[in-house]
Amino acid sequence: MDNIEQLRKVATRAGKLLTSLSESIRQQKEELKLTEFYQEYSKAALYKLPKLSKGSVEYAVSEMEAGGYIFKKKPSGNTMKYAMTIQNVIDLYNHRKVPKYRDRFDKAFTIFVCNLKGGGSKTVSTASLSHAFRAHPQLLFEDLRILAIDFDPQASLTMFLSHENSVGLVENTAAQAMLQNVSREELLSDFIVPSIIPGVDVIPASIDDAFLAEGWKGLCEEHLPGKNIHAVLKENIIDKLQHDYDFIFLDSGPHLDAFLKNCIGAADLMLTPLPPATVDFHSSLKFVASLPALIDSIEMDGHTCNLIGNVGFMSKILNKSDHKNLP
C-alpha cells in the first residue's frame, strides 16, 4: 500500500481516543461517586421482596447487627438511614436460610444470545440479562452467580460490563483460555474479571481474537491435538466453571465462525433477538431457518449439542405507538 503512514496516523489517533474515552468514563464515575452499583434498598423496601415481611426483616436486621454485621447506611438530615446494597440483601436472605437456586441445581446453565444479523441487540440483550438475573428484586433471594463470556472481537459486551478491560490488546481473553486449556484456578484468577455489578463477572474479548477464529482448525490441531474443534469452549471453560456459576451467558460476533459454533456446542439454550424492521427481520428469520442445518454440521463433525431449544424474541419497538398498543 502506498499510503500506509496515513493509516498508521489514523490508527494512533483512534487508539488515543479510545483511551481518552475510557479515562473520561472513569473520572466521571469518581466525580459523581458512581464507582459502585447504584441499586440500594431502604429497610422498608425489603418488606415487599419475595419471602420477606416486615417482621422477618426487622428481626433479621436486629440479629445480624447484634452479631456485628454492618449494613450500608447514608446520612439523611440528622439521622442515618439504611441504604442496603444487593450484597446486604443477599446476606439477609442467607441469615434467614432461604434456599438458593444452586441448592436445587448444581451446574451452570449456559445461554447463548445469537443472531447473524449485526446490530440486532445481541450484546445489549446479553448484558441486560446478565444484569437482571443478578440484580432484579424478584431474584435476589436466589443469589445467582453470573458469568458473561465475550467472543466478539469488538468487545462491546466487555465495554458494557467492564469498560476498562475493553481498550487495547487484552491477553487473557476467552479465546486464549480455550486455546491454552488453562486450569479452573487460572480461569478464576487470571481470566475472569468483575463487573461493576457485584456477582456478575466477565471474560473479556480483544480485537486479536478475530485472527484466532480465522485459523481455529489449524490452531487446535497444533495446540489441542485430538480435541473436537467445536467442543473446546464447553470442555476447556464451561465444564471447569460449572460449579462456580449458576448462569453463563455467551456473546459472539455476527459471523459464522469457530467461536459461534463453539457457543452453539456449549449452550443449553439459545435466544435469538428479532428486530422488527423488515430487512433485519428477514435476515433474522433466515438465520433461524438455517439453525437445524448448522447444528447438524456440528454434530456430523463429532460433537453432540445439548440444546433444549431456541427462543426468539422481539428486540426493538418500531415506534412509540407500537409500544403503547402492546397488550
CATH (domain of 78)? 1.10.1660.30
- 61 and 192 co-located in one domain: no
- 259 and 112 co-located in one domain: yes
Please check whether residue 327 lies inside any domain of the structure.
no
User: Phi and psi for 309 in degrees, rounded to 5?
Assistant: 160, 175
User: Phi and psi for 290 in degrees, rounded to 5?
Assistant: -90, -5
Domains in the chain, number: 2
Task: Using CA atoms of 10, 16, 19, 21 in order, give the dihedral in degrees to the nearest 10.
Answer: -80
Query: What is the mean predicted confidence (pLDDT) over 136-148?
Result: 97
Query: What is the mean predicted confidence (pLDDT) over 149-167?
Result: 80
pLDDT at 85 over 90: yes
Q: Are 133 and 117 in contact (CB under 8 A)?
A: no
- 74 and 155 co-located in one domain: no
pLDDT in the model for residue 275:
72
d(CA 22, CA 31): 14
β-strand partners of 147:
201, 248
- 248 and 260 co-located in one domain: yes
Taking residue 73's Cβ as centre, other Cβ atoms within 10 Å add up to: 13
- 85 and 119 co-located in one domain: no
- 79 and 166 co-located in one domain: no
**Domain end among 98, 114, 131:** 98
pLDDT at 170 over 70: no
Please check whether residue 25 lies inside any domain of the structure.
no
d(CA 269, CA 306): 8
Helix/strand/coil for 149: strand
pLDDT in the model for residue 119:
66
pLDDT in the model for residue 177:
95
- 113 and 66 co-located in one domain: no
- 197 and 282 co-located in one domain: yes
Please check whether residue 82 lies inside any domain of the structure.
yes
Which of 17-21, 161-165, 215-219, 236-240 is predicted least confidently?
17-21
More confident of the two residues 94 and 196:
94
- Beta strand extents in the chain (DSSP E only): 73-76, 79-82, 109-113, 146-150, 193-194, 200-203, 247-251, 269-274, 310-314
Helix/strand/coil for 251: strand
- 71 and 153 co-located in one domain: no
Helix/strand/coil for 36: coil
Please check whether residue 157 lies inside any domain of the structure.
yes
Nearest to 199 by CA among 265, 155, 257, 139: 139
Helix/strand/coil for 152: coil
Please check whether residue 278 lies inside any domain of the structure.
yes
Q: Which residues contact 239 (CB under 8 A, 6 or more apart)?
A: none
Query: What is the mean predicted confidence (pLDDT) over 112-117?
Result: 84
Residue 32 pLDDT level (bands cut at 50, 70, 90)? low
- 59 and 152 co-located in one domain: no
More confident of the two residues 314 and 262:
262
pLDDT at 287 over 70: yes
- 58 and 154 co-located in one domain: no
Query: What is the mean predicted confidence (pLDDT) over 132-152?
Result: 96
pLDDT in the model for residue 33:
64
Using a cut of 0.95, tell me whether the model's pTM lies above it. Answer: no
**Domain end among 98, 121, 141:** 98
Nearest to 249 by CA among 150, 105, 166, 182: 150
Q: Residue 283 sits in a domain of what CATH number?
A: 3.40.50.300
pLDDT at 322 over 60: no
Domain residue limits at 82 = 43-98
- 61 and 197 co-located in one domain: no
Residue 256 pLDDT level (bands cut at 50, 70, 90)? confident
Residue count of the chain, please give it.
Answer: 327
